[in-house]
Amino acid sequence: MAELNTPLKLGALKLKNRVIMAPLTRSRATDDRVPTPMMVEYYAQRASAGLIISEATVISEEANGYRNTPGLFTEAQVEGWKLVTNAVHEKGGLIVAQLWHVGRVSDPELLNGETPVSASSVQQAGHVSLLRPKRPYVLPRPLEIAEIHAITEQYKQAAIRAKEAGFDGVELHGANGYLIDQFLQTKTNKREDEYGGSVENRVRFLLEVVDALIDVWGADRVGVHLAPRGDEHDMGDDDPRETFGYAMEQLGKRKIAFFFTREYLAEDSISEYMKQRSDGVPYIANMRLSREDAIELLASGKADAVSFGKAYIANPDLYERLLQDASLNELRLENMIGSQTAEGYIDYPTLAELKVLSTIE
């Protein structure tokens, strides 16, 4: 029976425990998307996790939808990430890079005046995150086939740079309404070519990018991040079981290292079904998990590992706290994204630090 502290193999990755740090956008990179010394400390503080999945990292400047998110398309960015990966490894941790293209979830202000791209010209509801004055998302431009192939090559080049930067593998961000997801789901994919219509066509881009990452890393160091519930960025699919089941069937044939789903537990959850379709690909569960949820998922074999996001922001030693059933620090939402300060980023105390403080007082 698996427990929180049970070791785990995800492909070639040998984890010391089954508690995963989820990817978390914090917007602390430089204006040129270079990781900072503050980011080095942030990740090193959390190295007791069985695996860290880096914050979403853009594969090109045109892939971005937020200021100060890091990239993996310049040498300066590679050098910045090297400091992060070295620090995590020195603490005995593992870290993979999450590779990202936001697609339509952007704005011309962030793209040098260019129109955001997507699978099809389907405008997203709502307002662009963090930009002021507030403005609605614009109607995106559908990618031409040659552009799709060019973006696949950008993913491959980012994977090469991730290897140069010392990561232990890569995870493709195919979730949360970003570009890969926009091709997967029927609400955003209205294409009539080989990338639209049938489930085989809608999954094609995902699989072509995964194959490009496998060319660089080998399948046993490549993971995929999916969001079958479609509850972010105005997404939706006519038949999520068919779409995500087929995707997992194809990913299973490729023997990838793991898949990760952002899907809260409910009667209509399909992550367990996706695992069944995957021919044994290890599954990382995520979203609103309590300690009790995590323990039950591992004990029952419904998930191979469990992942936490906001809890890892506020608790650098979350793994140790979960083992001890210790109380958690309270998350300070005002500093979560967009602040360039250390406040609410690297100043959350560990249990050991709290103990020292209490003795001083």
- Supply the residues annotated as catalytic: 178
Cis amide leading into 142 (omega within 30): no
- What burial letters (b/e) apply to 243-254, b meaning 16+ CB within 10 Å? bbbbbbebbbeb
Residue type, 325: D
Pairwise CA distance, residues 223 & 283, whole Å:
10
Q: Which one, of 287, 273, 225, 251, lies nearest residue 100 by Cα?
A: 225
CA angle (19, 157, 171) in 5-degree steps: 15
Torsion of CA 7, 228, 262, 254, to 10 degrees: 40
Residues whose CB falls within 8 Å of the CB of residue 147, separated by 6 or more in sequence, listed in order: 117
Number of Cβ within 10 Å of residue 217's Cβ equals: 22
Distance from chain centroid for Cα 265: 19
List the one residue out of 302, 326, 304, 303 whose CA is nearest residue 315. 326
DSSP-based three-state secondary structure for 226? strand
Is the torsion defined by CA of 123, 127, 129, 130 positive or negative?
Answer: positive
CB 178 within 8 A of CB 102: yes
CA distance 340 to 318: 23
CB 115 within 8 A of CB 73: no
Report the relative pairing of strands 8-10 and 19-21 from DSSP bridges.
unpaired
How many Cβ atoms are within 10 Å of 238's Cβ, its own excluded? 10
Closest by alpha carbon to 19, among 44, 47, 43?
47
Residue 302: partners with Cβ closer than 8 Å, 6 or more residues away: 272, 275, 285, 296
